[in-house]
Amino acid sequence: MGRVGKLCGIDEAGRGPIAGDLVVAGCILTSFVDGLQDSKKLSEKKRESLYESITKNSLYHIVKFSAAQIDKDGLSLCMKSALREIMQTLTCREYLFDGNSNFGINELPTMIKADGKVPEVSAASILAKVTHDRNIIKDAQKYPEYQFEKHKGYGTALHIELIKKHGYCDIHRRSYKLKALEKTLFD
């Protein structure tokens, strides 16, 4: 934990869903935050609590891309743009992105499962996940027939059945082709 202020951790949420925003967060911890770990291993209540602690004890920047932006520019370009924006906004000696791809930004180191190993990346993971989930829950109120609060935009059996029944809405990523939908929506 001696690296406080020297490293900017970066992680994303919403890369895999078929609906909702892609959210990428960068975080430089300015004080110790207890309980940090991979956002996927935390309860929603714990993530929300940690989100508040992180925002009070860090410098951070969050970048969001809508489904329409992802469809227009592609996921890789959106990721690359978000990573560049974070690196230009948060000045730091070192950066570390969770995963195994730096999306063509050669000066950005990556580490698989960094969100569970490096506190700054854990913090970024939580910022990204909470932001993503808050946004999709707002969308669930606008589009109740899709039950986004249950599946958070992922391609679950329930979500696919609801798309078959109601078609796509404004927050669906139409560029994501799903075999389960091809015959229903495209015949």
Q: What ranges do the domains of the chain cover? A: 7-176
pLDDT score for 177:
79
Token pair of 131, please?
A: 């932001």
pLDDT score for 5:
64
How wide is the angle at C-alpha 25 spanned by C-alphas 20 and 31, nearest 5°?
140
Q: In this structure, which long-range contacts are made by residues 80-87, counting pairs with CB atoms below 8 Å and at least 24 apart in sequence?
A: 80/104, 80/105, 82/12, 82/22, 82/24, 83/10, 83/24, 83/108, 85/61, 86/8, 86/10, 86/24, 86/25, 86/26, 86/61, 87/8, 87/26
| pTM (two decimals) | 0.92
Q: Which fold has domain 7-176?
A: Nucleotidyltransferase; domain 5 (3.30.420)
DSSP 58: E
Interatomic CA distance for residues 17 and 55, integer angstroms: 25
Residue with tokens 């993503």: 132
pLDDT score for 178:
76
- State the DSSP H helix or E strand holding residue 150, giving kind and residue range, or none if neither: helix 148-151
pLDDT score for 187:
41
Per-residue pLDDT tens, the chain, 187 aa: give them: 334 569 999 999 999 999 999 999 999 999 999 999 999 999 999 999 999 999 999 999 999 999 999 999 999 999 999 999 999 999 999 999 999 999 999 999 999 999 999 999 999 999 999 999 999 999 999 999 999 999 999 999 999 999 999 999 999 999 987 766 665 444 4
Interatomic CA distance for residues 79 and 74, integer angstroms: 9
Token pair of 72, please?
A: 């227009």
Sign of the torsion angle spanned by Cα atoms 19, 154, 116, 79: negative
